[in-house]
Amino acid sequence: MAEKQTAPNYPDILGYITDGQQLTIGVVQAALAVRPPVARVGRPFAAVLLLQNMSDANVAVTATLQLPLKDAAGEKGRFGTPNEHSSINLLPAEVGYLVIPIGTRANAAPAKEYTLAVDVQVETISKPRLIRQVEQSEEINLDYYFSLSEEAIQKLMGLKMLNFSVKRRGMFGSTLEASFALAPAKEMPPNDVKAGWFRLWGLGTDSDARPLLERFRGTLALSIIPGLRPAALYKALFPVTKERISKAYRVQNIEAHYITKLMVYILSIAPHPPLVYHYPEEAMYTVMTLLKEGWPTDGTPIPLPYWCRSLLHMIGMDEEVVQDPVLAFTGALYDELLRDAIVHGFHILSVATRRELGTEHELRVYTDYLVQIVRHPKRPLTFSDVYIPLVLAGSVVSEDVVLPNEKPLDRMHDLINVYNRRAETERNTETDAAFLMAEEVTNFALRRYSDWM
């Protein structure tokens, strides 16, 4: 049984759409509609199942569509669907809707009222705690604790125009009923029903991470962060990084070395801060400070690295994340760690070169692009993509994560030799700025390492 808490208490988005109507099934709230409410013979329409997770746990939901067995003329088999059974892994606090396409035969009998139903089965994957309470009278504030994207708001407004039902089929059980009309066939432009699960909102990068932090604070502080040791991280991440980048760019060992160094640096300051932060916002990567000192309780977003947000969602679902966190960064968490490396790398280079390398929006767009290219190489990367920010930022932070038996000055000379050879074939008007920056950053590093000797 879920334990009811007084806070946090997220707004009732489903209730906002349905004007307060919902059927509660375990820790999930549901409502059902038909779109359009008046279907046409021979044309597809859809059942729309709206779901809202009231807990901070992942929930497995199975939805089974039950169509009319007969039409108004008593004939069987006049309604059909390719997706009778649907399964959804509902994330903590997630709100979204399932679209199930329905078709009618050309000889189906029109009628003013048909009834369809969806049976909803809910299974909690781990012990839930309520973070969205029921029977709240406060008016919803769409800016509270989170921001909705423009796309999500448009979907939300479209859903609000539907006639949602929370009528239960039978006295007990978890089957929702909704009615619809079937009008005679009419000559109209062709239409398609896009089936699938459409997310409106959930705990993510633009939301309050407090429930997951409250739930897994101890696990992070005691079992995961202490295990983030630079030597082990480097050993695990280097071959994966070289393999992944090589699919889009013929990366050399020394280049993969510095990209890996950047990723290791981000994780290495999670337990404790460096001697000096490169820029004030870098403190976000020292997650242990947040766990010790606490986080905002006024609904403002909690600053967390991408890797940490994703890891919080995985705890409770995958035991290996806790048992071997280093391994998780080579697989399920690699993309999010790469995302951190790109964002952090741009900020590092902005400080190192005293240049503005782009607005926050531009950096987000480019980060999404670069992560997607590495994940699914549809086009080759360029020298600029790989060096700015990854390789060069890695060279800047390299001294902060010195590895056993490493000779930093020799490594820097190796990098200079590689990009000088690349300049013979890859330097052009588009990459010239990246080569100039490489010379500037590595010359600075050479002076720094020379001071050590």
Residue by residue, pLDDT tens for the chain (453 residues) are 344 434 455 677 898 899 888 999 999 999 999 999 999 999 999 999 999 998 878 899 999 999 999 999 999 999 999 989 999 999 888 899 999 999 999 999 999 999 999 999 999 877 787 776 555 544 544 444 445 666 777 888 889 999 999 999 877 789 999 999 999 998 777 777 889 999 888 765 445 577 778 888 999 999 899 989 999 999 999 999 999 999 999 999 999 999 999 999 999 999 999 989 999 999 999 999 999 998 876 656 688 899 998 888 788 667 778 888 899 999 889 999 999 999 999 999 998 888 888 888 788 888 988 998 998 888 899 999 999 999 999 999 998 888 888 888 889 999 999 999 999 999 999 999 999 999 999 887 777 765 544
What pLDDT, on a 0 to 100 scale, did the predictor assign at position 239? 97
Statement to judge: residues 68 and 177 lie in one domain: yes
What pLDDT, on a 0 to 100 scale, did the predictor assign at position 299? 57
Please give the Cα distance from 404 to 337 (Å, whole number). Answer: 23
Closest CA to 223 of 91, 319, 110: 319
Please give the Cα distance from 324 to 189 (Å, whole number). Answer: 55
Q: Which helix (H) or strand (E) element contains residue 16?
A: helix 13-18
Domain boundary among 201, 229, 244: 201
Distances (CA, A) of 401 to 189, 253, 284, 341: 63, 18, 18, 15
What pLDDT, on a 0 to 100 scale, did the predictor assign at position 203? 65
Please enumerate in sequence order all residues whose Cβ is within 8 A of that of 416, keeping only pairs 6 or more positions apart, or say none: 442
CB 355 within 8 A of CB 443: no
Statement to judge: residues 101 and 233 lie in one domain: no
Please give the Cα distance from 399 to 383 (Å, whole number). Answer: 23
Domain boundary among 182, 201, 220: 201
Closest CA to 426 of 409, 414, 438: 438
Statement to judge: residues 282 and 156 lie in one domain: no
Statement to judge: residues 173 and 233 lie in one domain: no
Please give the Cα distance from 256 to 240 (Å, whole number). Answer: 9
Statement to judge: residues 236 and 184 lie in one domain: no
Statement to judge: residues 225 and 136 lie in one domain: no
What pLDDT, on a 0 to 100 scale, did the predictor assign at position 16? 86
What CATH number is given to the structural domain containing 121? 2.60.40.10
Statement to judge: residues 218 and 140 lie in one domain: no
Closest CA to 51 of 176, 206, 212: 176
Number of structural domains (the chain) is 2
Q: Is the pTM of this model over 0.85?
A: no
What pLDDT, on a 0 to 100 scale, did the predictor assign at position 148? 65
Residue with token string 């995302």 = 339
Statement to judge: residues 127 and 235 lie in one domain: no
Statement to judge: residues 399 and 324 lie in one domain: yes
Domain boundary among 155, 173, 201: 201
Statement to judge: residues 155 and 224 lie in one domain: no
Q: Where are the alpha helices (DSSP H) in 40-199?
A: 150-160
Statement to judge: residues 34 and 120 lie in one domain: yes
Omega into 8 within 30° of 0, i.e. cis?
A: yes
- On the 0-12 / 13-18 / 19+ scale of CB atoms within 10 A, 332 is middle
Calculated CA dihedral for residues 167, 168, 170, 172, nearest 10 degrees: -140
Statement to judge: residues 314 and 441 lie in one domain: yes
What pLDDT, on a 0 to 100 scale, did the predictor assign at position 300? 64
Q: Which domain holds residue 416?
A: 210-452
